[in-house]
């Protein structure tokens, strides 16, 4: 395994980068998402061929996903198969639907198994699309966002939380002489009484303050103080941690069940929504980076937002079983394919 492969394996919490079984589980889950590029496929092949134990572990991992996927396939396949068949030479939508249902079942099975594998050892966890409010022993409150995990040590002698992954919002009760600390990998946070959010973003940590003052250290640089409507990103190896202005209400709105976006690219908004939606979101719109939107998304009614998106922008949103497909509207496609026809008809 080369250095880039080792770094990737090391970045997965709870995984042993020296275990062929753990490596195989990671590879199967990554490849099953359908997002593997040429570089990842090349790394996978190098890993698979580097040790006979890897090939054996890979076969076992594939069998495991197939076994777990069977009940999920049974759940989604009838929905897909009940769709009207399409006339054509490729077998129609019915055959394609069964294939997609199997693919979705396998991807979801990967996600469920990996979720359990990563969560069983932590105090507080949330699955994709789930949020949890945790009342701590000192009177503080922790909101745990989607796909997050934390270990909590709060009693009369200590107030400490380790954010293993994901995102959390803290409303900390004041306790003189007993600071509240959060360890989030690259960043460490220390407060007495305040409200703030912490998000692990890859190897970085982003701290956003809504009330009070927060001291943030880590990254091998001196600690900085962050005040209301400010944020700081901690990255290992950076020479400094610049504090920037932020709209804390918007950035931390998730803990009230909403996401708030102002003039953001649709691709960015959809990427954020994927964190909250267990379904497979497919975006096939070439200009999704150029389309911009200002919106408030109710996380309990994501489908309603998808419907609004299809009404306000030149996109078509289709929900088919476990898939959400966002593509260019047929009118835009026809205009792009026949610009001269469109120009002559408008005249």
CATH of the domain at 234: 2.60.120.1440
Do 268 and 234 fall into the same domain?
no
DSSP helix/strand/coil, 153: strand
Phi and psi torsions of 212, nearest 5°? 85, -160
Q: What is the pLDDT of residue 45?
A: 86
Query: Does one domain contain both 162 and 103?
Result: no
Residue 111 lies in a domain: yes
Please give the residue range of the domain that contains residue 270.
257-333
Residue 101 lies in a domain: yes
Query: Is 244 in the same domain as 268?
Result: no
Check whether residue 206 and residue 302 sit in a common domain.
Answer: no
Buried b (16+ CB within 10 A) or exposed e, 30-61: bebeeeeeeeeeebbeebeeeeeebeebbeeb
Q: How far apart are CA 347 and CA 344, in angstroms?
A: 5
The single-letter DSSP state of residue 178 is -
Domain end call among 218, 250, 282 = 250
Q: Is residue 322 part of a domain?
A: yes
Give the angle 17-23-29 at the CA atoms, nearest 5°.
130
Count how many domains the chain has: 3
**Which pLDDT belongs to residue 251?**
96
Whether residues 236 and 328 share a domain: the answer is no
Query: Domain check: are 166 and 193 in the same one?
Result: yes
Give the relative orientation of helices 38-50 and 20-32 as an angle to the nearest 10 degrees.
150
Of the residues 250, 283, 317, the one at which a domain ends = 250
Contact 32, 107 (CB under 8 A): yes
**310 within a domain of the structure (yes/no):** yes
Is 90 domain-assigned?
yes
- pLDDT score at 81: 46
Tens-binned pLDDT, residue by residue, of the chain (347 aa): 555 555 555 544 444 566 787 777 777 766 765 556 778 888 888 888 888 888 888 887 676 555 444 444 444 444 444 444 444 444 443 444 444 445 555 555 555 555 555 555 788 999 889 999 999 999 999 999 999 999 999 999 999 999 999 999 999 999 988 999 999 988 999 998 899 999 998 889 999 999 999 999 987 778 999 999 999 999 877 777 889 999 999 999 999 999 999 999 988 998 899 899 988 787 777 777 788 999 999 999 999 999 898 888 888 887 766 678 888 776 655 554 544 444 333 33
Residue 340 lies in a domain: no
56, 142: one domain: no
Q: Residue 82 class from Cβ within 10 Å (0-12 exposed, 13-18 middle, 19+ buried)?
A: exposed
Nearest in space to 276 (alpha carbons), one of 164, 165, 119, 146: 146
Kindly write down the DSSP assignment for every residue of 184-212, as one continuous string.
Answer: ETTEEEEESS-EEEEEEETTEEEEEEEES
Cα separations (Å) of 19 from 13, 23, 59, 286? 14, 6, 15, 40
> Is residue 341 assigned to a domain?
no
Based on the fold, state whether residues 109 and 175 are members of the same structural domain.
no
Residues 170 and 226 in one domain: yes
Contact 205, 186 (CB under 8 A): yes
Give 316-322's long-range contacts (Cβ < 8 A, gap of 24+).
Answer: 319/279, 320/80, 320/83, 320/97, 320/100, 321/76, 321/79, 321/80, 321/97, 321/100, 321/101, 321/104, 322/76, 322/101, 322/104, 322/108, 322/278, 322/279, 322/280
Burial of 329 (0-12, 13-18, 19+ CB in 10 A): middle
- Using N-to-C axis directions, what is the helix angle for 266-273 and 302-312, rounded to 10°? 160
d(CA 207, CA 216): 8
In whole angstroms, give the CA distance from residue 92 to residue 293: 35
Verify that 215 and 328 share a domain, yes or no.
no
What per-residue confidence (pLDDT) applies to 122? Answer: 83
Which residue among 119, 137, 155 closes a domain? 119
Q: What is the pLDDT of residue 211?
A: 96
Place of tokens 């197939």: 66
Looking up residue 315, the CATH number of its domain turns out to be 3.55.50.30
Note whether 308 and 220 are same-domain residues.
Answer: no
- Residue matched to tokens 């759940």: 75
Residue 342 belongs to some domain of the structure: no
Same domain? For 111 and 128 the reply is: no
DSSP label of 239: S
pTM: 0.65
**Contact (CB, 8 A) for 198 and 168:** yes
């Amino acid at each position: 395994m080369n250095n880039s492969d080792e770094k990737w394996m090391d970045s997965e919490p709870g995984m042993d980068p020296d275990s062929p079984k753990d490596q195989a589980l990671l590879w199967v889950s990554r490849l099953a998402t359908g997002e593997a590029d040429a570089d990842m496929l090349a790394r996978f092949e190098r890993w698979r061929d580097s040790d006979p134990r890897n090939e054996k572990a890979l076969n076992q991992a594939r069998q495991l996903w197939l076994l777990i996927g069977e009940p999920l396939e049974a759940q989604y396949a009838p929905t897909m198969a009940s769709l009207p068949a399409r006339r054509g030479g490729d077998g129609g939508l019915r055959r394609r639907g069964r294939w997609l249902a199997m693919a979705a079942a396998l991807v979801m099975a990967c996600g469920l198994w990996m979720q359990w594998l990563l969560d069983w050892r932590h105090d507080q966890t949330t699955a994709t699309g789930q949020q949890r409010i945790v009342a701590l022993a000192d009177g503080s409150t922790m909101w745990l966002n989607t796909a997050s995990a934390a270990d909590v040590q709060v009693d009369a002698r200590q107030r400490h939380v380790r954010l293993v992954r994901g995102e959390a919002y803290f409303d900390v009760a004041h306790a003189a002489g007993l600071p509240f600390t959060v360890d989030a990998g690259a960043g460490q946070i220390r407060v007495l009484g305040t409200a703030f959010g912490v998000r692990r973003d890859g190897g970085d940590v982003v701290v956003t303050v809504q009330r009070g003052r927060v001291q943030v250290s880590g990254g091998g640089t001196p600690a900085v103080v962050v005040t209301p409507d400010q944020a700081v990103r901690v990255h290992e190896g950076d020479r400094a941690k610049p504090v920037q202005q932020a709209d804390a209400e918007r950035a931390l709105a998730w803990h009230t069940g909403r996401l708030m976006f102002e003039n953001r690219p649709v691709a960015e908004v959809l990427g954020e929504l994927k964190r909250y939606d267990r379904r497979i979101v497919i975006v096939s719109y070439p200009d999704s980076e150029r389309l911009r939107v200002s919106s408030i998304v109710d996380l309990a009614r994501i489908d309603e937002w998808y419907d609004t998106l299809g009404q306000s922008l030149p996109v078509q949103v289709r929900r088919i079983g476990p898939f959400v497909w966002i593509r260019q509207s047929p009118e835009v496609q026809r205009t792009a394919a026949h610009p001269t026809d469109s120009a002559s008809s408008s005249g």
